[in-house]
């Protein structure tokens, strides 16, 4: 089954990439990308200086590249020597960061990264956050907009997607944590920042070893903004509760290949999307596109990780057919390109 939603995109606007480059000077590397000449790193070094830096780099043989190591210790680490009931080891963007790391209303932003939890990873029954999208400024900034967290359960631990439309948080989606343990996974998160009528959100996580999708959620009618906020920033790392220390142990979480990419969005007035009909929905074998006012030149189908899996050239007609029977269950994007080089992107979820 295919479920379609519309996004109108022209070109990639800007991209920020943070890759590990080998042991040494890790804090300097992170700072140079996320907030040059400032401090985008929140670590528990202040209370545990004998250990050294709580973020370092190492070579990972399975990825064949350098990666970041985030360390957190059951004792004596805490949250920056300020909060003793929790522990924080995170990197982030903030107001001194480059503008293209600050999500603002109306922007479409793609966040990508990889992470690996140890095979014996232990979650707190309260929270063990790995990623957040958090507002800066406004009355609702205290509660993160999006949180990816692990949580100890009665039978199985969970990886949860948590969401706060305003000041209270709910779980949008969760999966058993077991398929993530001891495996590198690749995350792609696509956000259109806006109020209820214009906000969209999707996240897909796949195992690197076999490309199997192990976590998948999307919503095309969701508030992705906070009241009177200045911007939304990403955060990555380990941020966990100490309310139940018996749940915890010393942990090392690996991260790699951080990417933040802004995408230009065309106004609807420049591209008559209402005249473009895509049917049937749901689709099993063949997708028909009817476009009488915007002559289509070609269509390209991409995986959520940007890999082209099919390209179709069209003649100048009003109706076009696209074979979708070969697609495996996953999230894809179909780029429909007009002869004026405008691109209509439709997200496809094949189930």
pTM for this model (two decimals): 0.76
Residue 31 falls within a domain, yes or no?
yes
Tokens 């420049």 belong to: 270
Task: Using the predicted structure, report yes or no on whether residue 227 has a pLDDT greater than 90.
Answer: yes
Mean predicted confidence (pLDDT) in 315-322: 75
pLDDT at 68 over 70: yes
Predicted confidence at residue 321, as pLDDT, reads 83
Domain assignment present for residue 19? The answer is yes
- CA–CA distance, 320 with 231 (Å, rounded to integer): 41
Mean pLDDT of the chain: 87
The first and second tokens of residue 351, run together, are 């189930």
- Note the pLDDT tens digit of each residue in 104-128: 988 889 999 999 999 999 999 999 9
Domain finish residue from 246, 265, 284: 265
Last residue of a domain, one of 265, 285, 316: 265
Tokens of 178: 């077991």
Would you say residue 184 lies in a domain?
A: yes
Q: What is the Cα gyration radius of the chain?
A: 21
Domain assignment of residue 301, given as a range: 268-350
Strand 319-323 vs strand 296-303: parallel, antiparallel, or unpaired? unpaired
**Is residue 121 located within the same domain as residue 244?**
yes
Task: Give mean pLDDT, residues 296-311.
Answer: 76
SS3 of 245, please? helix
CA distance 331 to 43: 35
Is residue 2 domain-resident? no
3-state secondary structure of 98: coil
Pair of tokens at residue 96: 């001194």
Evaluate whether residue 3 is within a structural domain. Answer: no
Q: Name the one residue in this structure whose structure tokens are 């100490």.
A: 242
For residues 54 and 127, state if they share a domain: yes
Cα 103 to Cα 193: distance, rounded to the nearest angstrom: 7
203, β-bridge pairs: 189, 217
**Tokens read off for 59:** 């070579």
The gap between the terminal CA atoms of the chain, to the nearest Å, is 5
Whether 67 maps to a domain, the answer reads yes
Are 301 and 316 within one domain?
Answer: yes
Q: Do 79 and 190 belong together in one domain?
A: yes
The pLDDT tens digits for 185-215 are 999 999 999 988 778 999 999 999 999 999 9
Spatial separation of the C-alpha atoms in residues 188 and 112, rounded to whole Å: 5
DSSP 83: B
The string of pLDDT tens digits covering residues 271-287 is: 445 567 777 756 678 88
338 and 298: one domain? yes
Tell me the residue length of the chain. Answer: 351
Quote the CA–CA distance of 347 and 130 in Å, as a whole number: 26
Query: Of the residues 265, 289, 318, which one is the last residue of a structural domain?
Result: 265
CATH number where 343 lies: 2.60.40.3080
174/280 same-domain check? no
User: Is residue 16 helix, strand or coil?
Assistant: strand
Tens digits of per-residue pLDDT, 135-189? 999 999 999 999 999 999 988 999 999 999 999 999 999 999 999 999 999 999 9
C-alpha to C-alpha distances, 258 to 30, 47, 188, 255, nearest whole angstrom: 11, 28, 10, 8
Q: Is the peptide bond before 345 cis (omega within 30 degrees of 0)?
A: no
The Cα–Cα gap between 126 and 279 comes to 45
Same domain, 163 and 299: no
**In total, how many domains does the chain have?**
2
Q: Are residues 141 and 272 in the same domain?
A: no
Give the CATH number, domain containing residue 220: 2.60.120.200
Residue 215: inside a domain: yes
């Amino acid at each position: 089954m295919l479920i379609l939603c519309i996004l109108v995109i022209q070109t990639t606007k800007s991209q920020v990439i943070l890759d590990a480059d080998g042991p040494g000077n890790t804090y300097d590397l992170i700072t140079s990308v996320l907030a040059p000449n400032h401090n985008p790193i929140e670590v528990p070094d202040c209370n545990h200086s004998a250990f050294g830096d709580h973020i370092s780099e190492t070579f990972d043989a399975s990825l064949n590249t350098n990666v970041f190591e985030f360390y957190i210790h059951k004792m004596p680490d805490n949250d920056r020597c300020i909060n003793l009931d929790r522990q924080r080891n995170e990197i982030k963007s903030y107001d001194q960061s480059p503008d293209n790391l600050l999500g603002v209303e109306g922007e479409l932003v793609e966040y990508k990264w990889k992470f690996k939890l140890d095979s014996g990873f232990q979650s707190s029954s309260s929270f063990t956050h790995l990623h957040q999208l958090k507002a800066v400024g406004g009355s609702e900034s205290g509660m993160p907009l999006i949180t990816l967290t692990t949580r100890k359960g009665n039978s199985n631990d969970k990886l949860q997607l948590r969401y706060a439309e305003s000041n209270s948080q709910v779980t949008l989606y969760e999966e058993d944590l077991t398929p993530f343990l001891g495996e590198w996974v690749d995350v792609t998160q696509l956000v259109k920042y806006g109020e209820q009528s214009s906000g969209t959100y999707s996240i897909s996580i796949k195992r690197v070893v076999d490309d199997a999708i192990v976590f998948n959620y999307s919503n095309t009618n969701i508030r992705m903004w906070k009241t009177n906020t200045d911007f939304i920033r990403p955060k990555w790392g380990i941020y966990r509760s100490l309310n139940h220390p018996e749940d915890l142990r010393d942990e090392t979480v690996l991260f790699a290949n951080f990417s933040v990419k802004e995408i230009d969005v065309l106004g609807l007035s420049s591209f008559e999307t209402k005249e473009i009909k895509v049917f049937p929905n749901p689709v099993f074998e063949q997708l028909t596109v009817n476009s009488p006012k915007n002559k289509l030149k070609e269509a390209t189908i991409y995986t959520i990780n940007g890999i082209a899996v099919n390209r179709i050239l069209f003649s100048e007609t009003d109706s076009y057919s696209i074979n979708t029977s070969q697609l495996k269950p996953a999230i894809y994007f179909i780029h429909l390109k007009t002869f004026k080089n405008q691109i209509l992107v439709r997200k496809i979820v094949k189930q």
